[in-house]
Amino acid sequence: MGKIMLEVNNLKTKYVTRFNESVYAVDNVSLRLEEGESMGIAGESGCGKSTLALSLMGYYFAPLHHIEGSIIVEGKDITKMTPDQVRKTVLGTEISYIPQAAMNALNPTQKIIRFIENVIHAHDPGMPKNRIYEMARDRFEVLNLPEEVLEKYPVELSGGMKQRTVIAISTILSPKVLIADEPSSALDVSSQKMVIKMMRELMKNGFIKSMIFITHELPLLYNVTDDIMVMYAGQIVEKGTAKEMVFDPLHPYSKGLMGSIIVPEAGTRDAKLTAIPGTPPNLKNPPAGCRFAQRCKYAHAACKVQSIEEVRLKDGRMYRCILDQNELKEGKK
Ligand SMILES: Nc1ncnc2c1ncn2[C@@H]1O[C@H](COP(=O)(O)OP(=O)(O)O)[C@@H](O)[C@H]1O
Ligand SMILES: [Mg+2]
């Protein structure tokens, strides 16, 4: 077993809105990431992926609040630290986070090298600028990014180049865990491939020790991460290796995300793919029982009332559903 980079136990977090309503966006999430491991998190929009990413940094300020659960980094529970301690000792070096749409949020009036200086100075205020420039240049070279980019402004870069630059800036301090929130979603296919290649390169070279890659597209993760968790309505509904999750998903929601619920057309032997009708529930008031039941074509009456514990299968796989695989195959009502 590799060294554990991140261990999360039963994490629950919520937003408190300005009308004083609570939105329970991360509900009882546990995960563990070892050195060299990459984990994918998939789920539709509104399922809590970005909130989970934010919550994993342990950097809580309104409207996001920690309810319970631990996040262990280097033997310390960072949920017990003050935001200031987290900022000084965790962010950038232990955990680095690339927010969704980060590349479009870069301050347009700053050259790229200034962003790198800011990241490094937040951690080491005394480092001279020429030393920072050398560090940045060396790292850019490894990542196949031209040195000239350091002196450019964000608007001068193409989308793909901007996103790769964001990744380089975010990982300049060689974090143990990189959390990338939909880093390739806004890009065309060839830029997507470059971004994914670069993230793998960072892992291979040891510039990042482990990675969490968030996306709404489950199939995308097959070539990107070792393991995949599927998130629905604030909860993890299934975990497995990338291969298991992509080729043999167990939970009805994962099956739907894969677009792989194959239904024979009436009277023919042809199969058609089904999408998932409906939308995820409102997390102010999550439904009792299985949160997916309203949209699940296999749901029994019990699914809507019975609390769903994680079901563990013989080979160590987990999915959160009371139906067994035979019932799911038959689509019993
Ligand atoms: N700042 C916020 N205040 C209140 N609710 C929020 C806030 N940001 C997101 N939410 C809600 O939290 C839930 C999860 O959102 P999010 O984490 O962005 O999902 P995803 O990244 O999977 O699309 C949604 O119901 C969303 O409306
Ligand atoms: Mg999101």
Burial class (CB in 10 A: 0-12, 13-18, 19+), 248: middle
29 lines ligand 1 (CB under 6 A): no
Separation between Cα atoms, residue 299 and residue 307, nearest integer Å? 13
Q: Which of 11, 12, 15, 54 to mutate to test the pocket of ligand 1 (most atoms within 8 A of CB)?
A: 15
| CATH numbers and ranges of domains, the chain | 4-231 (3.40.50.300), 249-330 (no CATH)
63 lines ligand 1 (CB under 6 A): yes
41 lines ligand 1 (CB under 6 A): no
Ligand number, closest to the Cα atom of 52: 1
Q: Which residues contact 41 (CB under 8 A, 6 or more apart)?
A: 49, 52, 53, 212, 213, 214, 215, 228, 229, 230, 231
Which residue, by CA, sits nearest to atom 25 of ligand 1? 46
Ligand number, closest to the Cα atom of 25: 1
Residue 284 CA: nearest ligand 1 atom is 25
Counting every residue written for the chain, the total comes to 333
> pLDDT at position 268, please?
59
43 lines ligand 1 (CB under 6 A): yes
Give the mean pLDDT per block of 10 residues along the chain (333 residues).
94 97 96 96 96 96 97 97 93 95 92 96 93 96 94 95 94 96 91 91 95 94 94 96 94 86 57 74 93 93 88 83 84 50
Predicted structure pTM score: 0.93
50 lines ligand 1 (CB under 6 A): yes
> pLDDT at position 207, please?
96
Q: Which residues contact 12 (CB under 8 A, 6 or more apart)?
A: 24, 26, 27, 28, 29, 66, 67, 68, 69
> pLDDT at position 265, please?
57
Residue 181 CA: nearest ligand 1 atom is 21
Peptide bond into 63 cis (omega under 30): yes
CA of 25 to the centre of ligand 1 (A): 7
CA of 49 to the centre of ligand 2 (A): 5
Q: Which residues contact 49 (CB under 8 A, 6 or more apart)?
A: 41, 42, 43, 181, 182, 214, 216, 231
Which residue, by CA, sits nearest to atom 24 of ligand 1? 46
